[in-house]
Structure 1
């Protein structure tokens, strides 16, 4: 089995792994100015997708821009999320050189899509493939690929601890080779219950003092997790941005969330923003939490709320996810000011950051890989892949860090 890394090797973003020039695992993009795509666009016989985040699915429609029409296999939520993200990409970049696909390519995705549940084996490009719950976001999957001789496990992104939205992964299928993500390989997450309590106490204090809390959040996974937290702590909240559409979609797939009843209650508890008739400016004066995209302040309704609440030190901005270097969110956390709509704005409101990560931390990664001590481990999807692999080798585990474009025969 030959495994080529077309993206996601020693980096986070544009994940793409090609097996035997035949089966493609993920095909994402690395957001930035300009965005970056996998180093090659292959013509696989089939595509299998781990989950619906931009860095894993952002370039999928471009695979159908030529004459090739490979079937694309994924879980139902991943299929829906990919379409949502692709439409948003077309809206932002359609017609520019930055967009690698067209509306026509996106329509073709619907024609070749094939959806599967967890632990339902299926055939793709001559391989026996099975999805296992990865515990990252709804529909996220570990991908097991079996050619009859070698069993390859592609972890995708995963979490070993429970979140309110999804349960942590417990799947450990037998595998000869494991391609393992390493996003937080040198981080130890604070216990989620402690993070939640700190977040809730901080928000409640601000609301009691008469302030407003803006909660920038990723539309997929993070928005819904924070809705569940707000409901659990009875914090009044509004939801704005793409997260509204994602929430409505996920309600159609109750089997892919941890607690369907809790999710339904959280949606009923939250108030969805329409954005009509100056509603956002009125909400900015409310004593409530406003969960809104984008998570890194690079667009979306957050661009309306931040200028409205920034001058009052009684207000608060709570960042809930990793802030990539060069984004307004990162600038805000580090400098107390951010470029909003082309203008650098100082922020007097309080700025806090909380770790609601949906990835396994170092302990989680080591616990997971403990089941594969006799397997070949290929470390990807991380900023410090080589350091993590070196530590694994010291423990007697055969671990390698592929380079971009490299081919590994296993």
Structure 2
């Protein structure tokens, strides 16, 4: 199967070819035809599976179809609002989706893609909302602010996309999402992507989607991540953990690395420590101003930053193929976040390495992670830096 046989417009196929894409992934080959047929979708697929393109490409097809309809052309001075609305949990993911939409739509004349997220001044967002707009990518909280002020026009939305719906519910956005959905036309198309549709996520999907929804599950959290080697290194204490981290980061096989911490304070402190040691490093967490976060991400993509020290705000939404290592300096609060963390490496068919630096107090979380993934994580040691006690069972 090719992108041409999926029924995509020539302009989109040309952009995909220019971006280096040859054939659709499994999730794309199943989701795109169903979306083009107007079906609502529930998509479960792993990180790096091409999920973003699976909903961005059908969205761009709706934009192209509207360009052919004279009745869809706005009158002079009329604010029609977006045709496509994408809700995402974080600013970082909004940037990734916006980049994908602009890349795949590079040959769509006058395509307008705008992000509305927290941490960005309101005036620039208000100006964008008043301008001709095709695709709006938003975090629920900030969009609610614009709805409350009457500045967000959503009556012409044809497609609603909820990306990482489970994450948005974890962050407490369920009431915001339902309020936003109430502002949209009842006949809209709704696409949802989530790690699971069990529990509250499934109930939300039932409320937002039509009865004849198309369910697409490519894989689940038990995927083996065969291109990512995983290991645990047990540390006696914080000094021992630092020694192990220093050894790993001096390995010549490390191209770029993401080091995950449990808290914002730990991210800042560890980044300062690594900077003093001479590493090209930057911190990334939710307590930083948006402009600074944007600069950090750009530095990572341009390879000016070799080591990113981040909280789980970066566990999803960062797609940098040159990240060779993920290091869990602090363990995640939830087992499923471990899967999203290690998915930052091994992108685009490359190999990756995920190393967890664990102390005795982390045993229960290690057990939960292994139960969740249904796979044991091998124990590794560094010669000369062995722990003083045997590894826990």
Question: Is the pair's TM-score, using the shorter chain for normalization, greater than 0.5?
Answer: no
Q: From the two aligned structures, give the one with the greater strand fraction.
A: 1
TM-score by length of 2: 0.37
Q: From the two aligned structures, give the one with the greater helix fraction.
A: 2
TM-score by length of 1: 0.36
